[in-house]
A and B are shown apart, each in its own frame.
Chain A
């Protein structure tokens, strides 16, 4: 047993309005350089939809993540080490710019410099890469708000997995946004696939990073990541990925995407896991249960003793005990991992959206504050439940229903409390009234210090961090300078 700490995130999807502020602030912080035009460490997708890169969830095409072979062994979907090294000269599964999109700008100068004629000048779209005129055909949130449209939603790989097809009902009632960053997995496929050993997971906080000096450009990480959250820099040919804003996290600050989220829907905290159990959990029969059991109880005396003997600082143990992530994912069972069946043990979890069901309850003449009515909707609307289960529970509809019913119970309980009525909402979902009130507090009125419980890094043991101060960790070297002829 080797207890380690992991920075984890939960996003409450009910609150996401799809404004993409997280994407923009992330881009301005991390990927506003030449060569990374197409890279979005954080992007917001509309579901059902194709996402970015288009159909990233289609692992038959991309072959990302892990699978369990006939003998029960965990191996990368891309094949064993020999098979992967045999294909070192090409990598058909790694996306190219054509699979992402061609970033574009507009010919704004034309608006100013066009000669005086009777016609209004038009700023044509230009490729942000070549500067040539182009037609914009796709982008990182191209299907923004078009989740219900047959054109885009029908191509969603998660929908293809659903047997029942009652598209009308789903079109009328179902759409939500899904902000995505790197999952900073406990069992990261990108790290396992990197031939150079440049991708690594940090011991102290579990953040997965790409060492720019060690990366040799074998681009195996890009295809191995099932979430398509490792990217190639176009100019340096090196891998870049979401850093979980580690320079901020080390100072106890939340990530940029979390800080700037206008819906305040993100939570960051520490969870404890057993490094020696990761392999077995990743290969477990039930991927969702495995993800849940990876998060150890920070109040368990055995865990505490092991964590202390493994050198976990006491302030980190305190943070793990106050973790909003453990509360939402394990104690309340409302947060669920994204595609646990990829077997990477992802560490960015989601509270599935209740609002489409509330809307449907109202439309069906029910009371959207009544847990029974919502329960009836949850059972009646098989498609949203099935769809959400494809996304967040490896197909386990009961787990999604459990999360949604508890969210509904919070609404009913709090309404009853403010009206001075008795209610049985808590009992119905197997919770205590205190549980529901704690959940209400965390979801509805939590302050910043409740949403982000981030212990500072112990820099006294990592003197070299000081050497990084002020330096751009991905800067320098060829390709970091701007090309001639472009502002």
Chain B
């Protein structure tokens, strides 16, 4: 029953909240749609921790896309032996995870402990986001290192379980049974991932959707009419 709630209902609820939330936020709160940069309050730690966090996070997302969306059969068909795939995935995962972890720890320490100024610009949304993100990172590393990396021939292959379930969500036929054999850390990680998606529109994470692609082709000087 819990599995059904977490892996068949919750993903759709979370995605719906996210989509509706994004549309709502975009329409009513352009002013709040920002990175909420805290550079003004503190710069020295931010200068190295922020790129570390962001690049780490992007690599981690790429890794998840590869691991969850690409079926095992495809990599096998391409001639990649599972052992090699495993080695590459784990080593890249550990590097990306380490970057993300160090970056996050530095940012959290900076924000909540080192400087009073930063506590003053911290909002409730930031705290919720940091809690979920922190738990996710702990669970993610636990899986990568504890369940997968330390075993040469892993007893549990997420590509035969979690990935199947994840892809089934997109075709609107959630395969809850595929999740059943997964260890608890994988289950928690998957459920929390959708919690992150659900809080996305209500946090500063919206800035992810503001990647300035248009800047590359825009003329340098922007002219606008009065009142436009």
Contact partner, A195, options B30, B36, B116, B215, Cβ 8 Å: B215
Tell which of B43-51, B83-91, B193-201 binds the partner: B43-51
Tell which of B6-14, B71-79, B131-139, B219-227 binds the partner: B219-227
Contact partner, B31, options A88, A91, A192, A213, Cβ 8 Å: A213
Please name all residues of chain A whose beta carbon is closer than 8 Å to the beta carbon of B50 when the two chains form the complex: 89-90
With A199-B222, A234-B41 as known contacts, state yes or no: A212 contacts B35, CB within 8 Å: no
With A81-B215, A97-B41 as known contacts, state yes or no: A130 contacts B36, CB within 8 Å: no
A426 at the interface (CB under 8 A from B): no
CA distance A241 to B158 in the complex (A): 52
A464 at the interface (CB under 8 A from B): yes
Please name all residues of chain A whose beta carbon is closer than 8 Å to the beta carbon of B47 when the two chains form the complex: 90, 92
Contact partner, A217, options B36, B55, B215, B218, Cβ 8 Å: B36
B212 touches A212 (CB 8 A): no
CA distance A399 to B34 in the complex (A): 45
Please name all residues of chain B whose beta carbon is closer than 8 Å to the beta carbon of A457 when the two chains form the complex: 226
CA distance A200 to B43 in the complex (A): 27
Name B173-223 residues within 8 Å CB distance of A.
207, 210, 212, 214-216, 218, 220-223
B155 at the interface (CB under 8 A from A): no
What distance in Å separates the Cβ of B204 from its nearest Cβ neighbour in chain A? 9
With A196-B212, A203-B225, A464-B228 as known contacts, state yes or no: A96 contacts B35, CB within 8 Å: no
CA distance A216 to B226 in the complex (A): 21
B51 touches A89 (CB 8 A): yes
CA distance A278 to B221 in the complex (A): 10
With A97-B40, A217-B36 as known contacts, state yes or no: A132 contacts B116, CB within 8 Å: yes
Q: Mark A458-487, 1 if CB is under 8 A from B, else 0.
A: 000011110110000000111000010000
Query: Interface residues of A: mostly helix, strand, loop or mixed?
Result: loop
Q: How extensive is the interface on chain A, given as a class?
A: 35 or more
- A2: nearest chain-B partner, CB-CB: B223
Contact partner, A197, options B30, B43, B214, Cβ 8 Å: B214
What distance in Å separates the Cβ of B23 from its nearest Cβ neighbour in chain A? 16
What distance in Å separates the Cβ of B212 from its nearest Cβ neighbour in chain A? 3
Please name all residues of chain B whose beta carbon is closer than 8 Å to the beta carbon of A216 when the two chains form the complex: 33-35, 207, 210, 212
With A191-B221, A203-B226 as known contacts, state yes or no: A129 contacts B117, CB within 8 Å: yes
A140 at the interface (CB under 8 A from B): no
B221 touches A462 (CB 8 A): no
With A201-B221, A462-B225 as known contacts, state yes or no: A130 contacts B117, CB within 8 Å: yes
B120 at the interface (CB under 8 A from A): yes
- A4: nearest chain-B partner, CB-CB: B223
Please name all residues of chain A whose beta carbon is closer than 8 Å to the beta carbon of B31 when the two chains form the complex: 212-213, 236, 238, 476-478
With A188-B221, A234-B121 as known contacts, state yes or no: A91 contacts B39, CB within 8 Å: yes
Please name all residues of chain B whose beta carbon is closer than 8 Å to the beta carbon of A201 when the two chains form the complex: 221-224
Could you show 11 A-B contacts with beta carbons less than 8 Å apart? A90-B48, A191-B221, A194-B222, A203-B223, A233-B40, A462-B226, A465-B226, A467-B227, A477-B29, A477-B31, A483-B120
